[in-house]
Amino acid sequence: MVRKSGDDWHTLDNIWISNGKTNDRARVEFRIELEEKP
C-alpha cells in the first residue's frame, strides 16, 4: 500500500483476535512518517 507520510491512522483490516479463552473483533490500524533529518 502507498500512504502519504504523516497521514492519520488508516485501518488496514478487521480481524479476529483471541487470548485463548475468548475471541474478539479488532481492527488493525497503521500510520507512517518519513523520518526527517535534524
Partner 1 sequence: MRNFLILVTTLYAVVQAYVVLERQWDSQVIAAPSFGGVDQKSSTADASDEVCATGCSVGNHPIVPLTSTELKELFEQFATASGKERESALDTLLFHGHQSRGQLDAIGSAFLVPEQLEFLRRELSKTHARVWMRVVDDRGVVRAGINGHRFPIGIKEHAHVENTMDLPAPEISGTVHRTGLHHLWTRI
Within positions 1 to 20, which residues make up the interface with partner 1, using CB under 8 A? Answer: 1-6, 9, 12-13, 15-20
Q: Does 25 bind partner 1 (CB under 8 A)?
A: yes
Q: Smallest distance from the beta carbon of 3 to partner 1, in angstroms?
A: 6
Q: Smallest distance from the beta carbon of 38 to partner 1, in angstroms?
A: 10
Q: Smallest distance from the beta carbon of 17 to partner 1, in angstroms?
A: 6
Ramachandran category for residue 12: left, alpha or beta (phi over 0 → left; psi -120 to 50 → alpha) = alpha
Output phi, psi for 18, to 5 deg.
Answer: -145, 140
Find where cell 488508516 sits.
Answer: 10
